[in-house]
Structure formats: structure tokens, C-alpha cells
């Protein structure tokens, strides 16, 4: 009693569901104090904690595409009744070296959705809320490369629908020069916003109506950037319950606000496709489409719109393109379905005279629930295929082999960002395992506290890797292990990130 009461912050809980793993840090949300905790480690037995402010009433917190920064979107104080009531905001946090708030962008309205540019430059905010009247077509664009950037508000034209999906393109080779776009999908049209000139009017394209007369609904927009020095960029749009794919080309104009028009072509692939992508084949650029209704795949020549059909050995409805390796410039695609206990590897370098040999079928004896990529160049041609039960498979696309991994219970999988290890754990249990993705040797581990999340992060100079096992709870407990050579006889337990101390 003589020492007084405890600090009020120790009675407040960390947010177990707001934990992010980055390349050199782990970030935990601490909503009651409008902040985040950034954890760093240079090896077992050493943990640094940094406290950084974010806005009040955080809506979301996501890592940016670099894996080094965090974006935190907050509503601020609603309703705002005084001048000092905090405005809605987007906070950019840098976690490399000495963590700090790199930028904070104040907003006029609270937004609920944040979509990132895969190149890390732009972010678009949408879904204005907490207002009596809101315009769902109002978007806010922010240039993250400029800490002083004034958020740019743009209201897109539509024909009665609201945005449902956003997509940033790479520079497209179009008339007028290489241009990046924000593609906005609604229930019945597609809009392109010029990211090189935000003041330029957007282009909204209505889609063909279905056979029943209903407006066509876009499901996916696939983009091909075109050839350097040419103006042959293309878009391909998959529509709901429609066997037609919309192929769009950019044709030059003589004048007007835009240097080009979008010219559509309808291509019938035989039945509604379930997946599309532009691929490089031995015959040149093609649009690949999976057509489950015909147990087939289609290859569309975007210049002639000629369609080639390839019968598949199973019904596959999902497609993941894998970059070519070595001297072979053609792509490879992985095909799978949650209803099949097999996957197929489609070699797109055999489409001209060996199409019948272009599909390699691999039987797994389990359905595929999720496909996880392996980052990096060393083992990037491997994939992790997770089954809905306790199994998963390591797929080697080079050798066309799959290796089963069995477990006694359901698993959550995490792949380290260096692409050399995967971690499997059972949330709520004390068990986890490291899988060496080169040798495929698993190492089973048991730690003292139930696990909520695991994160594999690098030291500041990349010479060590630390596994952070988050245990959750009111004050945030974690266990540290050597990620490369884990040994549960050599761990460091921190019972409270809020109170400090270790055991």
C-alpha cells in the first residue's frame, strides 16, 4: 500500500487479434492506449519494445508491401464536437532500425477499407461511415512516398453501383506513354483512374448484358502491361455466370481528355470460366481460362481472339501462375480445386505441338484448401498445399513431386519471409514444428504456454532469425526461440510486454 496502486495501463489488454509479423519486427496493437508495440530482437535473450502512437479507434492495421512498414487506419473521435477532438487518420509506421511514425495523414471522414498498391506508393481508402449521408463512390488516394501529401478525394462516375474491389496496375504501355491505373470494380462496370494525373477524368466502362438482360457483373480483371516501346497493354474481364470473356485493348484517339479509348471484344470460352490469367506460351501471349463446366482449359490469342481448348484430367477451378526458370521463357501454372484430391502442373511451353503432354497430374489423397507461396529465389518453385484436415503437402514444381506432411491435429501454417522454413502450430496448444523447406525435415517443439501466433523475424543486420511465439493475455506474453536451430531447452520467456521483465 505504501507503494501506491498499479499504473492504469496494466489493467488494459493487448489486442490478440492485431498482431503482425514483418521482416525485422513484430507489431502488436494496444488499442486502449491508442498505440502499437513494435518488438525487435537481435537473437535469443534480447528483446526490444518500442511504443508508437496511432489514431483513436483503430479500424485496421496491415503491413505494407515492403514488409518493413505498417499502415494503421483510425476513425478518430466520432462524433467530433470540439476542435481538439481527433480527426480520422492513416498512420504510416517504419519498423526497420529505430521504429518511428514516418507519416500521419488526417482525413475529413472516417473510412473502413484500405487497399494497398503492390508497388508500395499508393493507398486508396473507401467505405466512408459514421455519417448521416455518405457517397460510396467517394475515394481517397494517398501517396505514401510523400509524408506531406494532402489526401486526394475523387468521386468516380458509376451507373447506380458502388465500388466492390480495387486493383492497382503496374505501368501499362498505352497511347500517351506508360501509365499506372487504379481499377475500380462495381457490380456492373469497371472504372480506370489515372494515377499519373489524378485530376484527369476517369474512364468508366459498362459491361455487356447477360442473356437474361441483367447487367454484367465483373468478377476479376486481369492485366497485361504490354510490350516495351509498343501500346499493346490489355485487360481481360471475367463476368458472373457468363461464358464470354471481355478482352479490352487501348486504342489511340485524335483528341479529348484521354489519349486512348478502351475497345472491348467478347470471346466465348464455352462455359463460365472460374479463373483467368495472361500467360506466356511457346506460341506467344495467351489468355488462359479454366472452364470447369467443360473439364477444360482455354487459351485465347488476344490478337486474333482464336480459342484453343485443352481437355483436363480433372475438374480444376483455380489457377496460380508460376514464373518460368532457366532458359525456358514459357510460364508454368498450378491448377487445383477444393473438390479434388489432386493438383496439376500445366507447362505452357508445350502448347504448340505437345499440348497433350502439357499437363502433369499429381495425386495427393487429400483435397487442397489453400496454396501458400514460398518467397525468394532459392526455393520459390515450391508450394505448400494445405488440406482441410491435419495434412499438408510440399509441392516441388521443378521435379513435379509432392511430399506429404502428417499431423495429429489441425494446423496453421506460416512461411518465413526468407523462404527457407515453414512453421506449423495449433492455436491454443503448446506444440509447434519447424519444417526445413530444403531438406523437408520437421522439428517438433513444445513450449510452456499456449500459442496464439508465431512470427519468424530477422535481426537488424540479418545475421540471426528469432521465432516469436505470442501467448496473448492481458499483458502480452511471448517466448523467443532461435528460428534456424530451435531448441526448447534454449528459450527466453517474457511474461509481460506491458510490465517488462523476462524469465
In DSSP notation, 122-156 reads EEEEEEE-SSSS--TTEEEEEETT-TTPPPEEEE-
Nearest to 66 by CA among 112, 137, 123, 126: 123
Q: What is the pLDDT of residue 499?
A: 57
Residue-level length of the chain: 503
Report the percent of the chain where pLDDT is more than 90. 66
Rounded distance, CA 10 to CA 450, Å? 21
Strand ranges, E, within 84-121: 89-94, 100-106, 111-116
Span 92-96, average pLDDT:
96
Q: Which of 113-122, 157-166, 373-382 has the highest mean pLDDT?
A: 113-122
Q: Is the pLDDT of residue 324 over 60?
A: no
CATH fit for domain 156-264, picks 2.40.160, 1.10.287, 2.60.290, 2.30.29: 2.30.29
As a whole number of angstroms, the distance between CA 69 and CA 16 comes to 20
Please state, in angstroms and as integers, the Cα–Cα distance from residue 57 to each residue in 50, 53, 86, 116, 130, following that order: 20, 12, 10, 21, 12
Phi and psi angles of residue 293, each rounded to the nearest 5 degrees, phi first: -60, -20
pLDDT value at residue 476: 80
Lowest mean pLDDT among 129-133, 342-346, 409-413: 129-133
pLDDT for 135 equals 79
The pLDDT of residue 357 is above 90: no
pLDDT band at residue 358 using 50, 70 and 90 as cut-offs: confident
How confident is the model over 362-366, as a mean pLDDT?
88
CATH architecture of the domain formed by 269-410: 7 Propeller (2.130)
Contact 26, 455 (CB under 8 A): yes
DSSP of 298-316: EEE-TTT--EEEEE-SS--
Kindly report the backbone phi and psi dihedral angles of residue 356, in degrees, each rounded to the nearest multiple of 5, phi listed first. Answer: -70, -15
The pLDDT value recorded for residue 66 is 92
Q: Do domains 156-264 and 269-410 have the same CATH topology?
A: no
Note the pLDDT of residue 154. 93
pLDDT at residue 147, as a whole number: 96
How does residue 292 score in pLDDT terms, banded at 50, 70 and 90?
Answer: very high
pLDDT tens-digit series, residues 202-234: 998 888 887 777 788 999 999 999 999 899 999
The string of pLDDT tens digits covering residues 45-84 is 789 999 999 989 999 999 999 999 999 999 998 877 888 8
Res 329: pLDDT = 76
Residue 245 and residue 236 in contact, taking contact as beta carbons nearer than 8 Å: yes
pLDDT at 5: 43
- 38's CB contacts (< 8 A; 6+ apart) are 25, 26, 27, 49, 50, 51, 52, 93, 95, 99
pLDDT at 392: 92
Q: What is the pLDDT of residue 355?
A: 64
When comparing pLDDT for 253 and 456, which is higher?
Answer: 456
Say if CB 418 and CB 375 are below 8 A apart. Answer: yes
Residues 190 and 150: beta-carbon distance below 8 Å: no
Position 327 pLDDT exceeds 80: no
Averaged pLDDT of the chain: 88
Longest distance between any two alpha carbons in the chain, whole Å: 87
Q: Where are the domains of the chain?
A: 156-264, 269-410
CA–CA separation, 395 and 410 (whole Å): 20
Residue whose entry in the numeric block shows the C-alpha cell 479509348 = 261
Bond into 23 cis (ω within 30)? no
pLDDT band at 13 (very low <50, low <70, confident <90, very high): low
Query: What's the grid cell of residue 2?
Result: 505504501
Residue 272 reports pLDDT greater than 90: yes
User: Rounded distance, CA 278 to CA 274, Å?
Assistant: 14
**194 or 327, greater pLDDT:** 194
Q: Taking Cα atoms as reference points, which of 410, 450, 452, 408 lies closest to residue 429?
A: 450
What's the pLDDT score for residue 4? 43
Mean predicted confidence (pLDDT) in 258-285:
93
d(CA 479, CA 494): 6
pLDDT at 354: 66
Query: Between the CA of residue 410 and those of 113, 210, 432, 440, what are the distances in Å?
Result: 31, 43, 11, 19
C-alpha 182: how far from chain center: 16
Tens digit of each residue's pLDDT (9 = 90 or more) over 392-412: 999 998 888 999 998 877 889
pLDDT, one tens digit per residue, over 445-483 is 999 899 999 999 999 999 999 999 999 766 688 999 999
Name every residue whose Cβ is closer than 8 Å to that of residue 92 and which is 6 or more positions away in sequence. 64, 69, 70, 71, 101, 102, 103, 104, 105, 144, 147
Amino acid at each position: 500500500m505504501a507503494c501506491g496502486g498499479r499504473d492504469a495501463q496494466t489493467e488494459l489488454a493487448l489486442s490478440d487479434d492485431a498482431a503482425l509479423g514483418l521482416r525485422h519486427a513484430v507489431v502488436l496493437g494496444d488499442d486502449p492506449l491508442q498505440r502499437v508495440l513494435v518488438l525487435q530482437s537481435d537473437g535469443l535473450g534480447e528483446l526490444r519494445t518500442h511504443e508508437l502512437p496511432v489514431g483513436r479507434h483503430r479500424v485496421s492495421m496491415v503491413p505494407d508491401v515492403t514488409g518493413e512498414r505498417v499502415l494503421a487506419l483510425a476513425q478518430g473521435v466520432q462524433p467530433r464536437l470540439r476542435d481538439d477532438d481527433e480527426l480520422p487518420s492513416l498512420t504510416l509506421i517504419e519498423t526497420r532500425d529505430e521504429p518511428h511514425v514516418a507519416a500521419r495523414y488526417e482525413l475529413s471522414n472516417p473510412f473502413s477499407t484500405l487497399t494497398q498498391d503492390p508497388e508500395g506508393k499508393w493507398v486508396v481508402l473507401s467505405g466512408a461511415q459514421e455519417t448521416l449521408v455518405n457517397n460510396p463512390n467517394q475515394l481517397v488516394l494517398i501517396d505514401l512516398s510523400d509524408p506531406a501529401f494532402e489526401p486526394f478525394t475523387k468521386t468516380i462516375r458509376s451507373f447506380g453501383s458502388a465500388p466492390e474491389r480495387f486493383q492497382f496496375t503496374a505501368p501499362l504501355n498505352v497511347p500517351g506513354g506508360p501509365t499506372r491505373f487504379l481499377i475500380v470494380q462495381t457490380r456492373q462496370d469497371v472504372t480506370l483512374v489515372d494515377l499519373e494525373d489524378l485530376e484527369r477524368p476517369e474512364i468508366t466502362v459498362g459491361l455487356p448484358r447477360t442473356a437474361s438482360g441483367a447487367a454484367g457483373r465483373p468478377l476479376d480483371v486481369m492485366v497485361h502491361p504490354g510490350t516495351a516501346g509498343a501500346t499493346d497493354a490489355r485487360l481481360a474481364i471475367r463476368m458472373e455466370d457468363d461464358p464470354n470473356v471481355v478482352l479490352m485493348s487501348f486504342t489511340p484517339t485524335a483528341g479529348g481528355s484521354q489519349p486512348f479509348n478502351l475497345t472491348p471484344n467478347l470471346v466465348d470460352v464455352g462455359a463460365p470460366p472460374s479463373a483467368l490469367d495472361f500467360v506466356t506460351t511457346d506460341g506467344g501471349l495467351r489468355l488462359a481460362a479454366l472452364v470447369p463446366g467443360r473439364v477444360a482449359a482455354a487459351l485465347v490469342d488476344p490478337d486474333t481472339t482464336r480459342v484453343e481448348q485443352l481437355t483436363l484430367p480433372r475438374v480444376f477451378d483455380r489457377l496460380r501462375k508460376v514464373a518460368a526458370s532457366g532458359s525456358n521463357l514459357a510460364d508454368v501454372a498450378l491448377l487445383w480445386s477444393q473438390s479434388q484430391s489432386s493438383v496439376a502442373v500445366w507447362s505452357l511451353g508445350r502448347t504448340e505441338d505437345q499440348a497433350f503432354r502439357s499437363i502433369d497430374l499429381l495425386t495427393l489423397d487429400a483435397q487442397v484448401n489453400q496454396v501458400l507461396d514460398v518467397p525468394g529465389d532459392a526455393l520459390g518453385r515450391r508450394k505448400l498445399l494445405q488440406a482441410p484436415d491435419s495434412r499438408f503437402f510440399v509441392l516441388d514444381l521443378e521435379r513435379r513431386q509432392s511430399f506429404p506432411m502428417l499431423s495429429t491435429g489441425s494446423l496453421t501454417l506460416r512461411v518465413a519471409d526468407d523462404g527457407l522454413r515453414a512453421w506449423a502450430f495449433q492455436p491454443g496448444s503448446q506444440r509447434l514444428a519447424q519444417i526445413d523447406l530444403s531438406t523437408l525435415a520437421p522439428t517438433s517443439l513444445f513450449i510452456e504456454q499456449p500459442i496464439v501466433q508465431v512470427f519468424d523475424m530477422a535481426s537488424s543486420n540479418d545475421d540471426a532469425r528469432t521465432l516469436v511465439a505470442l501467448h496473448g493475455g492481458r499483458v502480452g506474453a511471448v517466448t523467443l526461440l532461435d528460428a534456424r536451430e530451435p531448441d526448447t531447452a534454449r528459450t527466453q520467456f517474457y511474461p509481460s510486454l506491458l510490465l517488462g521483465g523476462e524469465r
